[in-house]
């Protein structure tokens, strides 16, 4: 086969063009820090990158969900703590009033304080976080206890708090309950006990015997208050157990995020030291190609006429 000057020139130009393309590829890798800048550079890396990035996005979303779960649980814990302090204070006042050494004025003052503590407890039950009532189950857009508090025909408080579980997805297919059973803390049994205590103090019936067993109203109310306190303590313990699980999930998600980022980096990130070396070698090859090409591509008559 006859090799012509035109064939030599065309081959030389084609190789120089490839050399420019290689230089551009290495310069892009150096500028972006990525192995590929378009799917056509390496389809396998691109497909794996899409899969790894999806996993990382899921983990990041679950971590955002964890933030909401922490908010609900920590505010619930604060609400239970406040309710505990209120009940402890009410019990102290009841024990103080139950010893028959107080004057009617003292009893009335204690009754007034218990009434204020009851209103404070109602306020805690209606706690809102980010516009949601955290103590009303899944009905988080309505207050659990309306004002004035509904009463039945006997004059007792009568309201229903939603006790459905409010779950937050913390990993694929796994939901964690972040609310509490508010009936165990702010239920109508608790409120009616406080209401009956306030009325007994104001009416002077705290020392009366309501039944044939000879148990005074004050002692009966004290027993009821202790039962409500035990319910609060049990609910707080359950919340603490779920909070510990939430922390374990948080730790696991943090580990998954680190692993996902490392895998994504291994798949897509360029080895900068290698890129610099390859770029330097390619520059040397390119200069040599230009030097050789200048000898192969002979000048024509047009070049002399310019």
Domain presence at residue 250:
no
Q: Quick check: 57 pLDDT over 70? A: yes
192-204 core/surface letters (b: 16 or more CB in 10 A; e: else): bbbbbbbbbbbee
Say which DSSP state 41 is in.
G
Classify residue 41: in a domain, yes or no: no
pLDDT at residue 33 tops 90: no
Pull the structure tokens for residue 96.
Answer: 């103080």
Maximum mean pLDDT: which of 16-30, 209-223, 291-305? 209-223
Note if the pTM is more than 0.85. no
Question: Do residues 172 and 76 share a domain?
Answer: yes
Are 176 and 245 in contact, with CB atoms under 8 Å apart? yes
% of the chain at pLDDT higher than 90: 21
Residue 28 and residue 128 in one domain:
no
Q: Are residues 89 and 164 in the same domain?
A: yes
Per-residue pLDDT, 111: 87
Range of the domain at 25: 5-33+272-305
Confirm if 276 and 30 have CB atoms less than 8 A apart.
yes
DSSP state of 157: B
Say if residue 277's pLDDT is above 50: yes
> Could you tell me the pLDDT band of residue 296, with boundaries at 50, 70 and 90?
low
Q: Give residue 240's pLDDT.
A: 92
Structure tokens of 34?
A: 């990525």
Q: Which residues pair with 111 in a beta bridge?
A: none
The number of CA neighbours under 13 Å toward the Cβ of 70 is: 10
Domain count, the chain: 2
Residues 146 and 215 placed together within one structural domain of the fold = yes
Structure-token pair, residue 182: 């508010």
Evaluate whether residue 172 is within a structural domain.
Answer: yes
- Residue 266 belongs to some domain of the structure: no
pLDDT by residue (tens digit) across 207-241? Answer: 766 666 667 888 888 888 999 999 999 999 999 99
131 occurs within a structural domain? yes
Give the Cα separation of 6 and 223 in Å (integer). Answer: 108
The answer on 281 and 236 residing in a single domain is: no
Q: Are 200 and 221 in contact (CB under 8 A)?
A: yes
57 and 256 in contact (C-beta within 8 Å)? Answer: no
How high is the pLDDT of residue 255? Answer: 87
Tell me, yes or no, whether 238 and 290 share the same domain: no
**In this model, does residue 42 exceed pLDDT 70?**
no
169 within some domain? yes
What token pair was written down for 3?
């090799």
Q: Which CATH number goes with the domain that contains 89?
A: 1.20.1330.10
- Flag whether pLDDT at 54 surpasses 60: yes
What backbone torsions phi and psi does residue 176 show, to the nearest 5 degrees? -120, 130
Contacts of 66 (CB under 8 A, 6+ apart): 168, 170, 246, 249, 250, 253
- Which two tokens mark 68? 């909401």
Residues 278 and 237 in one domain: no
Helix H or strand E segment including 128: strand 128-129
Same domain, 88 and 195: yes
Q: Is residue 181 part of a domain?
A: yes
């Amino acid at each position: 086969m006859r090799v012509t000057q035109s064939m030599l020139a065309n081959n030389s130009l084609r190789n120089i063009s490839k050399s420019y393309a290689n230089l551009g590829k290495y310069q892009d890798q150096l500028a972006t820090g990525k192995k590929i800048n378009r799917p056509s550079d390496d389809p396998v890396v691109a497909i794996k990158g899409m899969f790894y990035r999806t996993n990382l996005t899921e983990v990041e979303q679950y971590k955002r969900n964890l933030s909401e779960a922490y908010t609900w649980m920590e505010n619930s814990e604060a609400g239970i703590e406040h309710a505990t302090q209120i009940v402890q204070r009410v019990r102290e006042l009841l024990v103080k009033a139950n010893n028959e050494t107080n004057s009617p004025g003292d009893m009335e003052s204690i009754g007034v304080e218990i009434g204020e503590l009851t209103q404070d407890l109602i306020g805690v039950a209606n706690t809102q976080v980010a516009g949601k009532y955290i103590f009303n189950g899944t009905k988080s857009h309505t207050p659990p206890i309306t004002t004035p508090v509904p009463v039945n025909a006997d004059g007792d408080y009568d309201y229903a708090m939603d006790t459905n579980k409010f779950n937050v997805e913390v990993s694929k297919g796994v939901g964690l309950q972040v609310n509490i059973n508010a009936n165990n803390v702010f239920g109508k049994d608790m409120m009616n006990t406080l209401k009956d205590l306030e009325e007994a103090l104001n009416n002077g019936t705290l020392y009366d015997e309501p039944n044939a067993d000879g148990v005074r109203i004050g002692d009966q109310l004290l027993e009821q208050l202790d039962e409500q306190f035990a319910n609060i303590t049990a609910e707080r313990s359950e919340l603490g157990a779920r909070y510990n699980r939430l922390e374990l999930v948080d730790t696991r998600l943090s580990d998954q995020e680190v692993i996902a980022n490392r895998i994504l980096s291994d798949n897509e990130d360029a080895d900068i030291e290698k890129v610099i070396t390859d770029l330097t070698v390619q520059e040397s090859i390119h200069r040599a190609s230009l030097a050789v090409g200048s000898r192969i591509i002979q000048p024509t008559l047009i070049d002399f006429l310019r």
